[in-house]
C-alpha cells in the first residue's frame, strides 16, 4: 500500500493550485488540475482517495464536475471548496450524495488538513468494508456450492444402498444376497472414500504447509491400492513410470490428496465397454519441481465442459455445471503448493492431467 494518500485538487486559478501543493506536498501525494477536463485525464490514470474541487470554474462548476464523475469513480471522497455565496447549491449537492463535505474559502491550513485526514479515514473504512464484503460474498457462494455438491455426492451411494435393501425386501426369496451385500459394500466404500476426502481437504485448509521427503513410488502405489474398491479398478491396467533420482521435499498429505483425486477421477471416467482400460502415471522429479502426468484412455471431456472440470458440481439457471468436488479439491490444493495444473482431452479418446509442483526451498 502507498504510504501517502493521493489527493486531486481541481481549481482554475493557478495560484491556488501552487499554494495548495506547497502547503500539503509533505503530507499527501498532490495532483493538481486547472480544469475539469484535465482532472478527468488524471482520474483515468490514478486512484484518488480524495478529490477537492473549486466550485466556481469557467467550463463547469465543482458540483457539476462531481456529478459527472460520481458513477465512474464512486469510491473517491469528494469535497467542494467554495465561498458562502454558493451555499445553496452546496447543500443540494451534499443532500444528493455528490459531495462528502465542503470547505469554505479562504481555508486555514490546520482545518483543511484535519478535514482531508477525516476524508481519508472515511475512504479507508469504506474501502475495507467493501473488500470484506467481496470476500464474504465469495466465501458464501463457495459454501453454497459445496453443500450442494457434497449432498449430491453423499446422497447418490445412499440411494443405491436403499434401493438394494428395498429390492431384497420385495424379492424375499430368490435373491442373491451375497451379491447384494457386495453391492452395498461398494456403495458404502464410495461414500466413505468421499467423506475421508472431504475431511482430508478441510484439514489441509487449516494446516500450514508441511515439509517431508517424498517417495513418489510409494505415494502412488498407496493411492492406487486405496482405490481398489471401484468396480472397474481390477480391469484397469495401471502403468507407473517414476523418475526420481533426487530428494523432493513437499507436503505429503496435500500431494496425496492431489494424486488420489486425479486417480479416482481417471478410474471413474473410464469407458465402460473398453477391454483395454489404461491409466498411465508418469512422475519426473528434478531439483526444481515434480511433474506428475496422469493420462487415461477414458471417455474424455467435451470441449464445452473442459473449462468447468475444476469447478464444483452446481446447478445454475443455465443448467448443471462442474464435475464434483474431486477436481475442485485438486485445483485448490495445487494452488496452495504454488503449482500449476493443466488438462487436455479428446472426447472418446482420453484425458491427460499435467501437474507441476515446485520443490520446497
Partner 1 sequence: MSITNKNMVMLVDDNQVDLFLNKKFLDISGISDEIISFLSAREALNYLEENAKCVEKLPVLILLDVKMPDINGFQFLDHFKKMQSILTKEIKIIMLSSTIDPVDLNRAHDNEFVFDILTKPLNPNALKELLKKQNLRWVA
> Nearer Cβ to partner 1, position 291 or 308?
308
- Which range binds partner 1 by CB under 8 A, 41-49, 112-120, 149-157, 245-253? 149-157
Name residues contacting partner 1, limited to 16-55 (CB under 8 A).
none
> Nearer Cβ to partner 1, position 161 or 285?
161
If binding means CB under 8 A, how many residues of this protein chain bind partner 1?
A: 38
Radius of gyration of the chain (CA): 31
Interface pick for partner 1 out of 30, 93, 164, 219 (rule CB under 8 A): 164
193 contributes a contact to partner 1 by CB under 8 A: no
> Nearer Cβ to partner 1, position 27 or 235?
235
**Residue 326 in contact with residue 332, Cβ under 8 Å?**
no
For residues 306 and 352, what is the distance between their CA atoms, to the nearest angstrom? 12
> Nearer Cβ to partner 1, position 61 or 149?
149
Query: Residue 29 phi/psi, 5° resolution?
Result: -85, 110
Strand partners for 281: 240, 294
Q: With b meaning 16 or more CB within 10 Å and e meaning fewer, what string describes 177-212?
A: eeebeebbebbeebbebbeebbebbeebeeeeeeee
Q: Say which residues have a Cβ less than 8 Å from residue 14's Cβ, sequence separation at least 6.
A: 34
CB atoms within 10 A of CB 345: 21
Instruction: Copy the grid coordinates of residue 113.
Output: 488538513
- Which range binds partner 1 by CB under 8 A, 28-36, 45-53, 134-142, 156-164? 156-164
Q: Write down the least CB distance from residue 151 to partner 1, Å.
A: 6
> Nearer Cβ to partner 1, position 109 or 178?
178
- Which range binds partner 1 by CB under 8 A, 50-58, 126-134, 152-160, 214-222? 152-160
DSSP 318: T
Site string for partner 1, 304-323 (x = CB under 8 A): -x-------x-xxx-xx--x
Q: How many residues does the chain have?
A: 361
Query: Residue 350 phi/psi, 5° resolution?
Result: 150, 180
For residues 329 and 304, what is the distance between their CA atoms, to the nearest angstrom? 21
Site string for partner 1, 323-342 (x = CB under 8 A): x-------------------
Site string for partner 1, 218-237 (x = CB under 8 A): -------------x------
Helix, strand, or coil (residue 47) = coil
Name residues contacting partner 1, limited to 257-276 (CB under 8 A).
268-269, 271-273
For residues 344 and 301, what is the distance between their CA atoms, to the nearest angstrom? 9
The residues binding partner 1 (CB under 8 A) are: 148, 151-152, 155-156, 158-160, 162-164, 166-167, 170-171, 183, 186-187, 231, 268-269, 271-273, 299-302, 305, 313, 315-317, 319-320, 323, 347-348
Amino acid at each position: 500500500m502507498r504510504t501517502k494518500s493521493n489527493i486531486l485538487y481541481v481549481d482554475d486559478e493557478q495560484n491556488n493550485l501552487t499554494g495548495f501543493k506547497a502547503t500539503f506536498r509533505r503530507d499527501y501525494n498532490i495532483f493538481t488540475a486547472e480544469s475539469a477536463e484535465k482532472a478527468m485525464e488524471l482520474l483515468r490514470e490514478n486512484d484518488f482517495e480524495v478529490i477537492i474541487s473549486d466550485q466556481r470554474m469557467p467550463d463547469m462548476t465543482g458540483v457539476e464536475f462531481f456529478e459527472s464523475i460520481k458513477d465512474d469513480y464512486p469510491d473517491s471522497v469528494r469535497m467542494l471548496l467554495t465561498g458562502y455565496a454558493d451555499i445553496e447549491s452546496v447543500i443540494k449537492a451534499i443532500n444528493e450524495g455528490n459531495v462528502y463535505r465542503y470547505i469554505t474559502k479562504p481555508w486555514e491550513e490546520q482545518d483543511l488538513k484535519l478535514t482531508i485526514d477525516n476524508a481519508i479515514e472515511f475512504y479507508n473504512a469504506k474501502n475495507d468494508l467493501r473488500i470484506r464484503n467481496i470476500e464474504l460474498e465469495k466465501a458464501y457462494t463457495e459454501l453454497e456450492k459445496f453443500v450442494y455438491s457434497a449432498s449430491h455426492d453423499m446422497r447418490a451411494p445412499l440411494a443405491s444402498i436403499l434401493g438394494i435393501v428395498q429390492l431384497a425386501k420385495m424379492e424375499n426369496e430368490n435373491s442373491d444376497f451375497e451379491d447384494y451385500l457386495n453391492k452395498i459394500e461398494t456403495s458404502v466404500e464410495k461414500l466413505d472414500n468421499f467423506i475421508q476426502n472431504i475431511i482430508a481437504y478441510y484439514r489441509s485448509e487449516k494446516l500450514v504447509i508441511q515439509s517431508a521427503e517424498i517417495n513418489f513410488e510409494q505415494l502412488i502405489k498407496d493411492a492406487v491400492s486405496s482405490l481398489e474398491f471401484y468396480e472397474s479398478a481390477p480391469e484397469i491396467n495401471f502403468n507407473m513410470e517414476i523418475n526420481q533420482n533426487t530428494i523432493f521435499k513437499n507436503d505429503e498429505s496435500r500431494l496425496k490428496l492431489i494424486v488420489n483425486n486425479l486417480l479416482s477421477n481417471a478410474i471413474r471416467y473410464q469407458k465402460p465397454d473398453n477391454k483395454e482400460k489404461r491409466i498411465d502415471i508418469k512422475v519426473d522429479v528434478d531439483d526444481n519441481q515434480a511433474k506428475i502426468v496422469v493420462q487415461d484412455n477414458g471417455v474424455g471431456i467435451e470441449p464445452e465442459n473442459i473449462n468447468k472440470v475444476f469447478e464444483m458440481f452446481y446447478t445454475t439457471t443455465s443448467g448443471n455445471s462442474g464435475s464434483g468436488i474431486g477436481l475442485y479439491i485438486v485445483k485448490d490444493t495445487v494452488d496452495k503448493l504454488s503449482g500449476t495444473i493443466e488438462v487436455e482431452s479428446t472426447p472418446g479418446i482420453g484425458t491427460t492431467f499435467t501437474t507441476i509442483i515446485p520443490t520446497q526451498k
